[in-house]
Every structure is written in C-alpha cells, then in structure tokens.
Structure 1
Amino acid sequence: MKVLFVAYEVYPFAKVGGLADVAGTLPKFLKKLGVDIELVMPYHPGIENKDIISTGLELSTTRVEGGYVFDIFESTLPGSDVRIFLLRNEELIDSTEIYGGRDLGVQAMAFCDAVTSFAQGRSYDVVHINDWQTALVAPYFEDLDESAPATLLTIHNLGYQGAYSPDYFYRSGLSDRFFTYEGVLHYGKFNFLKSGLIYADLLNTVSKAYAEEIQTEEYGAGLHEVLRFRKGDLFGVLNGIDYDIYDPRTDTRLPYNFSVNNIDGKAKCKSALQQELKLEVSDRPLISLISRLVHQKGLDILSDVINEIVAHGVQVAILGTGDNHFESVFRSISKRCPDMVSVNLLFDQDLAQRIYAGSDMFLMPSLYEPCGLGQMFSMRYGTIPVVRYTGGLRDTVKEFDEQQMIGNGFGFTDYSGGALLEAVKRAVSYYDRKDIWRTIIKNAMETDCSWNRSADEYITLYNSLMNMRKEKSQNA
C-alpha cells in the first residue's frame, strides 16, 4: 500500500496549529506499521531546515489558468526515514505566514493541481488530504479516469472552508459539470472544502464526537446537510501524540523528570514554574491555559469568571496569542494580581512543556473542539484537564467518579462562565484531598493518547479505499 499524505503544514518544517503535529507524527507511526507513506507540502518561505535538498526536478500544473512551475525539494521527518517533498514556487507561495500570501485561493488551487500530477507520476494507491487548502485534490482526481488513486479527506476544523467567488472556479480548470450546488457551489461561492466533502472517496474528522456534531446545524458551519448526505462515508478517528517525544520521564525541556510511579518531580516542576512565571511559590492549585486566544477556545466565558477563579485561591498561567480584546483582558488581570496570574503573550514550545508539567490543572473551555491535543499533553504530564465536553474533549476526558475512583478530569456541558466555574471548583475540591488527587493524576497519566490505536484505524480506512479502488477499476 503506497500512500501520499498532503498537508499545508507539517511539524517541524512549518506549524500554525494541530494539523502540523498530526502531519509530523502520524506518518511515522503508519510507516512503522508497514505503510509505504510519503508526504508533500508547500515550501513556505519561512521554512529553515538545512536537511532540505533540491531534487533538481520540476513539476508543472496542468489545469489552473496561467500555469505554474514548482521546484521539488526533499527531506525526511526527523527521527524517521519517512520522505517529505516540498513544492516551491516563490512567486505563488510568497509569504512567511503559512496561510498568508497575495492570493491563498490561487495558491491552494495551483498546489492541489501540482499534487495531482505528482501523485499520478509516483503511482500512489491512496492520497490522504487535509482541510480546505488541499481539498481540491479530490475533484481534480474525479475529473480523471478510473486509474486515479483513492482519496481520504480529513477535516481538522470545519470552520475554515476556503470559499471564493465563482471566478476562481473558472480559473481552476475543473470541468463545468462540477459547477453546481450538488458539486462545488455553496451559497454562491466556490467552496474548496465542500468540493472535497463531495468528491473524496472517504471522509474523516479527528474525533468520533466531532464527526457526530458536524452533522448538526449548530456545529456544521453551514455544511451539515452535505455531511449528513455523506454520513455513511464519514468516520471519526482521534488524533494522538508521540509518546517518545512527550515523555515526562525523559523530557529534557523539564527541570525535573517524573513518572506515573514516582511523581515527586512534578511538585518540583511546579515550584520551578511558579518562580519562572513570578507567581507566589506555594501549594495553591495552579491552572493553566495554552491556546490561541480566540472566541472558539472559550476565552469569552473564561473572561467572565477568571476573577472568581482567582478569588478561590487558584493561580492561573496563560500562554498564547490572539485577539487583542482577550490579550488586553488577561493582561489587565495579571497587572492587578501579579502573584496569582501570569499572562505570556507569545508562542514558546519549551515554556509550554514546562507549563504542562508544572501545572495542577489544564483548562480547555472550548466552544467547539474537533479533537484537541492540549488535554492529551496535559494528561501525559499528570496535569488534570478541566474542559467543556465537546468534540474530542468529550471523547478523551472522563469525569472523575469518586465512588469507583475512575475518570481522568472534570468538565461541563453548558457553554457559560457559571458552568466553567463550577467545574473548576469541583477540581479544586479534590486537589485539597491529596490521596484522591494522586489517584486522578495516575488515571490521567495512564490514559492512552498515543498514536498506536489511531494509526490502526487509519490503516483500516486505507484498506477500505484500496478495495473501493479495486472495485471501481473492475467495473470500468
């Protein structure tokens, strides 16, 4: 089985969100399980990696108006022999911001056109595309004969769709038969994501709960009817994290290491973190949030009750950047209570690891959350998640039950500051009962959020696609 994994961001080459983490880790696990997998991504100008080499080859688009030529570069995912190809056109891909550039619509169309030719030339069985920037690969293949590879489209966030004026369709080179409301049109726009949802052979999103939610009007972002139509081809597969990289026993980014059987180092990590963040060094509960500071992440309801959380004796550490409004709100609270609230308006991967390890609780009050990785990282490091039960948070965080001593976190359903505050209070009430709190930590650290199970589920989907492709060729 030969698979091409297509993504606009791949860690460590380029990263904005969770897609990069998935693209940088899942293929390595699939390769270990016997899948012959390679990746392709745009060569963004901001990428700095000395291990990238030119293949000396070029690739031309065949559909998009005007025509574009890409230079092909090559590297490997760190710590593996998984090959990754990077397609460079400096005129088209012209911004150090991954989702920047003069015209992201034309950029994405041309990249998908080039990937289609690239995949045909290398005889892949399955092409695994991700989010709207790569979704046009599916209709480009649909426009070819039965020899085209099968396609799987993974939806990481339905809220981003790539909707453009009909002019873009006429520049895409797709056949006129696609230009219908049963095809690529959606509310009068050429919708790239909808195009993939209609024409990819199979679909999946990054948790089973989110796969259900996006078929509803509340969470479907205007595409719920399309997803209901394709529900027989829609699956939910949880993301995972790399347990070799994110291991509290060996993580060199931590001042002290620890394990599920000896968590003494975690308390030392907390004291060191409090000192680093200029918080009062004490046994007060420390709750953290590492996130883009945007509405989707529940920052509005956190803003409503953060003063009350602090009034209950809870320290708060925030790391991330985002909307000016939320940055201002949290910055002002930090100025009023500098020994209780630390706000760090930046992205710092090493500091993030120290926060995951040194905090007592981790906050994710998301309005919606397709999967979420923060709760997985926090549990791996013995930090108890307090979440809104939506999407992947609902699939991975289970409310602690004192009677049975099971569960790995705390949560709430109603999207309100009051519900969030009550969940934090429940967590704090158990934090004060140290024997029980140690059990909750153990439960969290023993939760399996590795890629092992999820990689097997992707292989099952790939096998289904292989069978579909075989049937299609036999019936041709």
Structure 2
Amino acid sequence: MKVAFVSYEVFPFAKVGGLADVAGTLPKYLEKQGIEVFVIMPKHKLVEKNAEKFGYKLEKVVSEIAVSHVKTDEKFDVYESTLPGSNVKTFFVANEYYFSADEVYAGPDLGEQSIFFSAATLDLLKHLDLKPDIVHVNDWQTALIPVYLKTLYRDDPFFSKTASVFTIHNLGYQGVFDPRYLSFAGLPDYVFTIDGLEFYGQINFLKGGIVFSDVINTVSPTYAKEIQTEEYGEKLDGVLRMRAKDLYGILNGIDYELYNPATDKRIYVNYDVNRIELKWENKVKLQEELGLPVRKEIALLGLISRLVPQKGLDLLIDIMDYLTLFDLQIVILGTGDDLYENALRKFQEKYPERVSTNIKFDVDLAQKIYAGADIFLMPSRYEPCGLGQMFSMRYGTVPVVRYTGGLADTVKEYDPQTLEGTGFGFKNYDSAHFLEAVSKALHFYYREKDHWKRIMVNAMNADFSWDRSAKEYVELYKKALAKVGR
C-alpha cells in the first residue's frame, strides 16, 4: 500500500503545534507496518533554518512546475529530504511568493496559499509518478485535495483508484473564505451548495474535506463523538452526523524514542521509572534557570500551551491569585492572544517568587518543564487529543486536566483504593472545579507521598506509543480503499 501523507507542518522540518509531531512520527510507524509512505509539505522558510539544527539535507529535484487548474502564473519547485530516523522520503512544494513568511501559518493570502499547495501536491504526485493508493490529508489547509480528487480528477486514470483520508486535528480552525476563492481554485460551481463547500454564504475548506473524503477521522475517540454535538461541532455537527458511518477516532501517540527521560539530551538530568528520584534534580535546575527560589520540596506546576481560548486559560487566570496562596510555583510557556500574554505577565510581576511566565516558543525549555515540573495543567475548554498530557506522563509529571476529548481518553483519575490512575481532572468547565482538581493533586503531593510516587510510576508506565495507533491507521486505510472499490 502506497500512502501520500500531506501536512502543512512536519517535525523537525517546521513545527508550530501538535500536528507537526503527528506528521513527523506517524509516517515512521506506518513504515514499520510495511506501508510505503512519503510525506508532502510546503517548503517554509523554517525548513531551511532547521536543516543545520536537525541535521538533514535538502535537494532540489524538479524546477518550475506549472500548477493545474489554479488561476495563477506562479510555479513551484520540488525539494526532497528524508524524515530523520526513517527511510520516509519527504517532498517540499517550494514557491517564493506563497511560502516566504517567517512563520508557518502566515503569507500574502492564506486562502490562495492553501489552494496553491493543494493543487501543487496533486501535480507533484503525477510529475514524480508517485501513484498513491491513499492520500492522507490533515486539517483545513489540505482539505481541498479530496475535493479536487472527487471533481476535476475523478476521470483521471492516475487517481482513479486513489482513496482519500481526512484527519481533523482541530475542528475550531476551518478555513472560511469568500466564494471568489472557488474561481481561483478552478473548482466547478456545483460544489458551492449546502451539500458541498457552502457555509453561511462563504466557502469552508474543512467542510469540503468532510464532505468529499472517503473516510474521516479525528485524533481521539471521545472527540469523534463530541464534534457530532452542537456544543463541540462548531456549526458542522450536522454535516459530521451525516458522515457518522465514515467517521472514526484514533488516539494520537508520541514518539517514545524521542521523548524518553532516560536518553533525552534536552533535559538537565536523565532518569527513568527505576531512578525516579533523579527527576527532582531537573526541578532544581529549572528553578535556577528561570530565576525562581530553589526549593526542591515545593510543588512546581507547569503549563505549556498556545495561549488561546481553547486552552482554558481563563480558568487559570480566575484562580491564579488564590493558587499563589498555596506553597507552590507555576511555570508557564507559550505564545498566543495578547489578552492572555499580558495577564500572565502581570502575575509574574505580582508574584515573582511564585510565577515564571515565558512568552515564547522554545522546544528545549518545554522539555525541561516536562521533566522538572511535578504537576502539569491542561484545563482545556476542548481538546481533540492533546499531546502535552502524554509528554508529561512519560516524564513522570502528573497531569491535572479537564476530562474532554483526548484528555478524557488518556488521563485516568487516581483511585487510592485500587492504586490505579495517572492524574486528576474535572468535567464541568468552571474555575471552581479546576481549583478543586488542582487542590486534590496538591493534597496527594504534600500529604500522601507513597500515593504520589504510585501516580508517577503509573503515569510513566502508561503506553501512548505510536505502534498501536499506526495499526489502527492501516485498518482505516483499508476501509478507505473499500470505498473506491479496492
């Protein structure tokens, strides 16, 4: 089986969020399952910058390809590399106009950029004669590829037996644009209907992926159910219910070779479940680096997040003054909305010995927080899967989460009677219940030392590797192939 895996960001070439981790890891595990897989992504400016840091090479393999169907004179080049730690070939669509921004999700026109990349991906496949059985696309930036396959390419012999799989990593980001973009894309007018891309008078790229893909999945079983409700469906719940028989939930995994506290070179001191006491040395080093009072015994809480409404930051801000009455420290890392950035900066100014606010994107500091913190906070309003809680558990840092989406699928409430469970959580989205869950964790940390060690061990022994999930994707691909008569 030959799979073209298409994503806007792929670690280590370019990373903004969890999609990059998935796209940089899942193909390697698919390869282990015997799948012939190759990755396609834009050649962002970050790709060149990261080459030296991560030790990969880029080679131009094709120049000046015209894009089919799209109303533009812009052409693209193709570069090739290999996904580090694998034999997975990665192809880059390069164009100076559309992919010249310093940031991944930026450019002269995000709608045109997505259209150009989607159309160029299909041209790349034909030009390099990479005839895929499956085209696996991810999020709205690539969601028009299934639309092209089912319309303009439906009678093309090259793609006649190609099935499409569309993974929704976050339904909150949909790619909604003016209908004029349909003309730019060269797509037929008949797709602009309520049963196609039309969405309240606009066109919705993500809706196109839902409607035209052979199979759809989200990144956790619970989120697959949640998005079919009005509360979580982001106005697409009706469309998703119509496709319910083709909608699946597969939990993301993490790369256990890369994220391993016993070998991770990004943390201060290596440790494992049998040398768990060495974890505390990471706390002390983190306190020193961030300028917090060095106190080995104090509870250190960590939060690593995009600072956006989805992540429950309003709940944290609500309880922060009260939290600082406890004997604890809080380390925050992330960037996002000015509202949250400014509020969290003020807490550091107000409580400099309690709060360290780091408004930046820093993957090395993130690893140090996973290793050095005692408790990891994820009070998300919704969470399609979430990787932070998996990283934290891998490093023996106990998560406190809201039980929604993938957080509900991965974190199990600790039961002192059975000694089972990996963390603490709450269901109702309000600050009082969040504070109650944090307080419960602090109680066990300070007053139930034996239980706390048990929770840490349980968390570190939990298995969220990609092996299981990759097997589920292989089965999903088989379902997609059956939809096109294979």
> Normalised by the size of structure 1, how large is the TM-score?
0.97
Check the 8 A contact 1:203/1:235 in 2, yes or no. Answer: yes
For structure 1, which segment, 458-467 or 54-63, has the greater mean C-alpha deviation from structure 2 after superposition?
54-63
In 2, Cα distance between the equivalents of 1:257 and 1:45?
A: 33
User: Residue 142 of structure 2: which of 134, 141, 147 is its match?
Assistant: 134
The correspondence of residues 339-358 of structure 1 with structure 2, limited to 5 A, is: 339-358=353-372
In 1, Cα distance between the equivalents of 2:378 and 2:147?
A: 36
State the SS of the aligned residue for 2:203.
strand
State the SS of the aligned residue for 2:367.
helix
Q: RMSD of the alignment, in Å?
A: 1.3
For structure 1, which segment, 90-99 or 431-440, has the greater mean C-alpha deviation from structure 2 after superposition?
90-99
Correspondence for 1:438: 453
- Alignment pair present for 1:238 and 2:251: yes
Correspondence for 2:12: 12
Correspondence for 1:249: 262
Correspondence for 2:33: 33
Correspondence for 1:395: 409
Q: Which amino acid aligns with 2:140?
A: W
- Alignment pair present for 1:122 and 2:130: yes
User: Residue 215 of structure 1: which of 228, 251, 273 is its match?
Assistant: 228
Give the drift of 1:377.
0.4
Correspondence for 1:474: none
In 1, Cα distance between the equivalents of 2:352 and 2:473?
A: 46
The correspondence of residues 126-165 of structure 1 with structure 2, limited to 5 A, is: 126-143=134-151, 144-145=154-155, 147-165=160-178
In 2, Cα distance between the equivalents of 1:404 and 1:350?
A: 36
For structure 1, which segment, 189-198 or 167-176, has the greater mean C-alpha deviation from structure 2 after superposition?
167-176
- Alignment pair present for 1:371 and 2:424: no
The correspondence of residues 290-309 of structure 1 with structure 2, limited to 5 A, is: 290-309=304-323
In 1, Cα distance between the equivalents of 2:195 and 2:424?
A: 43
Q: How many residue pairs were aligned?
A: 471
Q: Which amino acid aligns with 2:174?
A: Q
In 2, Cα distance between the equivalents of 1:419 and 1:60?
A: 56
- In structure 1, stretches of 5+ residues that fail to align are 472-476
In 1, Cα distance between the equivalents of 2:68 and 2:161?
A: 15
In 2, Cα distance between the equivalents of 1:129 and 1:154?
A: 6
In 2, Cα distance between the equivalents of 1:298 and 1:361?
A: 16
In 1, Cα distance between the equivalents of 2:184 and 2:85?
A: 40
Check the 8 A contact 1:141/1:148 in 2, yes or no. Answer: no
Q: Which amino acid aligns with 1:314?
A: L
In 1, Cα distance between the equivalents of 2:73 and 2:138?
A: 24
Give the drift of 1:348.
1.2
Q: Which amino acid aligns with 1:108?
A: S
Give the drift of 1:58.
4.1
For structure 1, which segment, 37-46 or 401-410, has the greater mean C-alpha deviation from structure 2 after superposition?
37-46
Q: Which amino acid aligns with 1:15?
A: K
Correspondence for 2:200: 187
Correspondence for 2:480: 465
Q: Deviations over 1:370-408 (max 9, x none)?
A: 111100000000000000111110100010011111000
Check the 8 A contact 1:317/1:342 in 2, yes or no. Answer: yes
Q: Which amino acid aligns with 1:125?
A: D
Give the drift of 1:280.
2.1
Give the drift of 1:67.
4.4
The correspondence of residues 96-115 of structure 1 with structure 2, limited to 5 A, is: 96-115=102-121
In 2, Cα distance between the equivalents of 1:331 and 1:179?
A: 45
Check the 8 A contact 1:119/1:127 in 2, yes or no. Answer: no
The correspondence of residues 68-107 of structure 1 with structure 2, limited to 5 A, is: 68-107=74-113
In 2, Cα distance between the equivalents of 1:271 and 1:98?
A: 35
Give the drift of 1:288.
0.6
State the SS of the aligned residue for 2:238.
helix
> Normalised by the size of structure 2, how large is the TM-score?
0.95
Q: Which amino acid aligns with 1:193?
A: L
Give the drift of 1:92.
2.6
Correspondence for 1:311: 325
State the SS of the aligned residue for 1:315.
strand
Check the 8 A contact 1:10/1:23 in 2, yes or no. Answer: yes
Give the drift of 1:57.
4.2
- Alignment pair present for 1:423 and 2:434: no
Give % identity.
52
User: Residue 468 of structure 2: which of 430, 453, 456 is its match?
Assistant: 453
For structure 1, which segment, 292-301 or 116-125, has the greater mean C-alpha deviation from structure 2 after superposition?
116-125
State the SS of the aligned residue for 2:15.
coil
In 2, Cα distance between the equivalents of 1:195 and 1:340?
A: 47
Q: Which amino acid aligns with 2:459?
A: A
State the SS of the aligned residue for 1:263.
helix
Q: Which amino acid aligns with 1:21?
A: D
For structure 1, which segment, 132-141 or 271-280, has the greater mean C-alpha deviation from structure 2 after superposition?
271-280
In 1, Cα distance between the equivalents of 2:425 and 2:200?
A: 36
In 2, Cα distance between the equivalents of 1:441 and 1:214?
A: 32
